[in-house]
Amino acid sequence: MNADAQTPRLLLLDGHSLAYRAYYALPVDNFSTQTGQHTNAVFGFTSMLINMLRDEKPTHIAVAFDVSRKSFRTEKYADYKAGRAETPKPFLGQVSLVKEVLEALRIPVVEKAGYEADDVIGTLACQAREAGMEVVVSTGDRDAFQLAGDRVTILYPVRGVSEVWRMTPDAIEQKYGVPPGRYRDKAALVGETSDNLTGVPGVGDKTAAKWIVQYGGLEGVVAHADQIKGKAGDNLRAHLSEVMRNYDLNALVCDLELPLAPPDLRWHGWDREAVHQVFDALEFRVLRERLYSYLDAVEPEAESGFDLDGSVLAGGAVAAWLAEHVAQAPVGVAVTGRFGRGTGELTGIAVATGDGPAAWFDPAALDENDERAVAAWLADPDRPKVIHDAKPATLAFRAHGWALAGVRVDTALAAYLAKPDQRSYDLTDLALRYLKRELRVEPPPQDGQLTLDGLGEEETEAVEQGVMLRARATLDLADTITAELSRDDDASQRLLTEVEQPLSVVLGEMEQVGIAADTDYLSELEAHFAAEVKAAQQAAHAVVGREFNLGSPKQLQEILFTERNLPKTKRIKSGYTTDADALQGLFAQTGDPLLEHLLRHRDVAKLKSTVDGLLKSVSDDGRIHTTFNQTVAATGRLSSTDPNLQNIPIRTAEGRRIRRAFVVGPAFDQLMTADYSQIEMRIMAHLSGDQALIDAFNSAFDFHAATASSVFHVPVEEVVPDQRRKIKAMNYGLAYGLSAFGLSHQLGISTEEARGLMEEYFERFGGVRDYLQAVVRRAVQDGYTATILGRRRYLPDLTSDNRQRREMAERMALNAPIQGSAADIIKIAMLRVDQALRDSGLRSRMLLQVHDELVFDVAQGEREPLEELVRREMGGAFPLSVPLEVSVGSGQDWNSADH
């Protein structure tokens, strides 16, 4: 913001115009939330807004909107804007989201019933100009060009959401041949297609400009109409009434009575908490980072910074400082270094006490006495520490030879449990959000790493001070977040201390161990898939009769829908979609051989990419050390990165070949896998209390066959595969809000048949129906869902006025308790298995967790005791009303260990 500028600057935006342009600039299919709300228009608008706030540095700002399509202009001319197409359905509801963003940014919205946004902008622009303010108007409507002047500039978007023309009076005259004051004259002659205002046939910008210059404006053109020769003159005389109508309607109303005047539009910066809530709901992580990066000096967002009495300790002084200042009260800890691939390297450690001083020291500079003192302090469970994202720090401590115990609060995990749908848990952001205090580290971390490499003396001092501040912020943050977790009940606090924080330690050990990889086999597999990619490409070229780019949507559209005249898929801005789902449906419909090769190409290209990623992930020890993430999935499920092991395919034979690359490690006998059988359906039976469903699990028969037997009223032995397939889809789909339409599409049956099947299912399993209905009602009442351990997921869209968002939130409300409870159970199982392995003295070790599956290295002679231990601990993880069935397999690689 330009708060200290001598001349105030007012930025005015046409909300509808810019949102509509953003909608068509960004592909609608690429921008939507987990709740199914399309966000391309609001994303593009917000992106343009942030850029303008950064570049224009306004002191004052407002956004004008049309109230409706009806205005005084439609009263004068009923067909005004009548030619405009119906508003696209994905655009509906996005304007209200734009207004939510503006409210969070504390940017005023100004509207006037019976008038358009142009008139509101015209009135405010004229008032501001007369008051001596500079004015910048951003709009996609060229009628605003008539406002341009010495103090008024127009920003006109011309390409996407990134390129704008800066339309000064000189720029307008150069492009259109007339000054801004005569643009209205030119528009009256030429017309405006988007407003359904027809101009003089055969008269374009150049002719209109020539007439206006020659005759001194439209009034002169009309007065001399009889003197204008040729076809253009004939057309002018024949259409003079339309020209005068256009001139009348094009005029901007600049004297409206509005609720706000320019002095009322001073911008004081945004509401940080509101921005978090709106951007979290819209899943705008990147835009939030841009907002904070570009505009962090717009206002003093924090009430204060962090006061700190900090010292940089030299080698030989650390032991005495710890003895004097670190007792039994919690202390904040922060580290610098390099982290990843199951290890880490420490370059600095900061410790902050509650009311006392803080200190920073270099682990490499410690003497022998310091080393012992730090090791004893870190390993002492009775000397509590508070740390933000403890797992990478723990791995770095371990690499140095130190053990970390006594972590009282991991503030990243605590913040995740408090707000599981948040996109980021950055400490700087959390300090501002919870403590209203500014936390700056200069220079900022790069890719999450913060070291002292290559820094000068002043920069080094800044980093040392910054890390001590991070330690203090972490300590203060812990009290605030844990108080929030304990406000409603103690379930969230127990999840933190009894599940998530202990699991972080287990996951760190698994990351350190990693899993062995057969790199020779991976290289062979990469070559195999590369050859398959080329073969599919050549086969596609052969069908078409020429080479083309299989990855080009434009070329595919031309070939599929023009040359081969295949049925059109879903309409998108660039034509018709060629995404994988659309092509799969088209292939099922037509059997066209080109589609077969295109789909094959995409499948094997994806497999090749997966193998390439795995090869790059193999460390020097021959093992893959993935990173497990606890704070990504709002349901509580773990995820993994670098590489993402959740993406290792298992549904196809070719995909399963990739699992063969994960092998038993040296000095171990085999791999063992163990996973829960139908855990989500077992949780459904437990939560619903449906006795028929419970009986099906307790029977000796296949679960899906047993439930099919009940629905179709046949003995279980007589259930045919098609009946089992249909009920299996029902069993798994109901927890995800499966509709009759969705079931019909999934099974290839009519909607009527699917609806009848669902009615039969619920007639037999009425407890499931009652449970699903009750879950949504309770979630609407409470504002959140909860798992069997009390893990909450907040769903504000349950009360949204937007039907699409509300219905998607209802589906999420159905699924969150079930999927989240499955996540709770596998986490408890991991903790139980880990503790049992320690107590048993077995040398076997846990390597991976993927979905509901655990993978182990089995030591020589420990196959049977390990299986017994795993079955016992996983099966006893939580007392359900149906047994937790565990499937176990073993082999020399992950694929052969399947079961």
pLDDT 10s digits, 83-110: 666 677 788 778 888 998 999 899 999 9
C-alpha torsion angle, residues 248, 254, 257, 261 (rounded to 10): 160
Count CA atoms closer than 13 A to 559's CA, side-chain side.
23
Residue ranges of alpha helices (H) inside 27-93 are: 40-56, 72-76
pLDDT of 301 reads 46
Quote the CA–CA distance of 68 and 115 in Å, as a whole number. 9
**Domain at 302-514, CATH class:** alpha beta
790-807 pLDDT, tens digit per residue, is 999 988 888 877 777 787
Does 643 sit behind a cis peptide bond, omega within 30 degrees of 0 on the bond before it?
yes
Q: DSSP readout, 401-438?
A: T-----EEEEHHHHHHHH-TT-S---HHHHIIIII-B-
pLDDT of 388 reads 95
Q: How many residues does the chain have?
A: 899
Angle made by CA atoms 697, 702, 705, in degrees to the nearest 5: 100
Question: Does position 736 have pLDDT exceeding 80, yes or no?
Answer: no
What is 9-175+252-280's CATH number, 3.90.650.10, 3.40.50.1010, 3.90.1720.10, 3.40.50.1820?
Answer: 3.40.50.1010
Of the chain, the percentage scoring pLDDT greater than 90 comes to 44
pLDDT band at 393 (very low <50, low <70, confident <90, very high): very high
Question: Does position 860 have pLDDT exceeding 90, yes or no?
Answer: yes
Q: What angle separates helix 703-712 from helix 691-698, to the nearest 10 degrees?
A: 130
Q: What is the largest CA-CA distance in the chain?
A: 108
Is there a contact between 482 and 409 (Cβ–Cβ < 8 Å)? yes
pLDDT of 383 reads 94
The residue with greater pLDDT, 435 or 604, is: 604
* Mean pLDDT value across residues 320-343: 90
Is there a contact between 446 and 471 (Cβ–Cβ < 8 Å)? no
CATH 1.10.150.20 positions along the chain are 680-818
- Ranking 185-189, 300-304, 468-472 by mean pLDDT, the lowest is 300-304
Strands 197-198 and 191-192 come out as: antiparallel
- Residue 762 DSSP SS3: helix
pLDDT of 835 reads 97
Question: Does position 702 have pLDDT exceeding 70, yes or no?
Answer: yes
pLDDT of 3 reads 43
Does 443 sit behind a cis peptide bond, omega within 30 degrees of 0 on the bond before it?
yes
Residues 6+ apart with CB under 8 A from 213: 177, 178
pLDDT of 290 reads 77
pLDDT band at 12 (very low <50, low <70, confident <90, very high): very high
pLDDT of 619 reads 94
Q: For residue 330, what is the DSSP state?
A: -
Question: Does position 4 have pLDDT exceeding 70, yes or no?
Answer: no
- The domain 680-818: what is its CATH number? 1.10.150.20
Quote the CA–CA distance of 799 and 810 in Å, as a whole number. 10
Among the listed residues 159, 161, 178, the one whose alpha carbon sits nearest the alpha carbon of residue 169: 178
Quote the CA–CA distance of 155 and 172 in Å, as a whole number. 11
pLDDT of 477 reads 94
Question: Does position 358 have pLDDT exceeding 70, yes or no?
Answer: yes
The residue with greater pLDDT, 173 or 630, is: 630
For the beta carbon of residue 43, count every other beta carbon within 10 angstroms: 27
Among the listed residues 429, 437, 496, 442, the one whose alpha carbon sits nearest the alpha carbon of residue 472: 437
pLDDT of 446 reads 44
Mean model confidence pLDDT for the chain: 86
Question: Does position 304 have pLDDT exceeding 60, yes or no?
Answer: no
Strands 343-352 and 331-340 come out as: antiparallel
Distance of CA 356 to the CA centre of its chain: 40
Quote the CA–CA distance of 119 and 868 in Å, as a whole number. 77
Question: Does position 758 have pLDDT exceeding 80, yes or no?
Answer: yes
Residue pointed to by tokens 């015209």: 122
Q: What's domain 518-622's superfamily in CATH?
A: Taq DNA Polymerase; Chain T, domain 4 (1.20.1060.10)
pTM, to two decimals: 0.75
C-alpha torsion angle, residues 664, 666, 668, 669 (rounded to 10): 60
C-alpha torsion angle, residues 538, 544, 546, 547 (rounded to 10): -50
- Ranking 287-291, 493-497, 717-721 by mean pLDDT, the lowest is 287-291
Token digits for 593? 């051989």
Q: Which helix (H) or strand (E) holds 787?
A: none
Among the listed residues 507, 478, 320, the one whose alpha carbon sits nearest the alpha carbon of residue 398: 507
Question: Does position 132 have pLDDT exceeding 60, yes or no?
Answer: yes
Token digits for 847? 């390597």
Question: Does position 7 have pLDDT exceeding 50, yes or no?
Answer: yes
pLDDT of 233 reads 82
* Mean pLDDT value across residues 674-690: 91
pLDDT of 662 reads 96
Residue pointed to by tokens 């004068």: 76
* Winning range, highest mean pLDDT, from 232-241, 270-279, 330-339, 438-447: 330-339
CATH 3.30.420.10 positions along the chain are 302-514
pLDDT of 600 reads 94
The residue with greater pLDDT, 871 or 57, is: 871
pLDDT of 1 reads 41
396-405 pLDDT, tens digit per residue, is 999 999 999 9
- Ranking 30-44, 166-180, 681-695, 774-788 by mean pLDDT, the lowest is 30-44
* Mean pLDDT value across residues 737-743: 76
Question: Does position 298 have pLDDT exceeding 50, yes or no?
Answer: no
Among the listed residues 505, 516, 515, the one whose alpha carbon sits nearest the alpha carbon of residue 397: 505
CA distances 338 to 447, 448, 568, 626, 866, Å, are 10, 9, 52, 16, 35
Please report, in angstroms and rounded to a whole number, the separation of the first and last CA atoms in the chain: 62
- Residue 888 DSSP SS3: strand
φ, ψ dihedrals at 359, nearest 5°: -150, 155
Q: DSSP readout, 149-215?
A: SSSEEEEEEEETTTEEEEE-HHHHHHHHSS-GGGHHHHHHHHEEGGGTEE--TT--HHHHHHHHHHH
CATH 3.40.50.1010 positions along the chain are 9-175+252-280
CATH 1.20.1060.10 positions along the chain are 518-622
pLDDT of 306 reads 61
pLDDT of 82 reads 67
pLDDT of 735 reads 64
pLDDT of 745 reads 75
* Mean pLDDT value across residues 213-240: 83
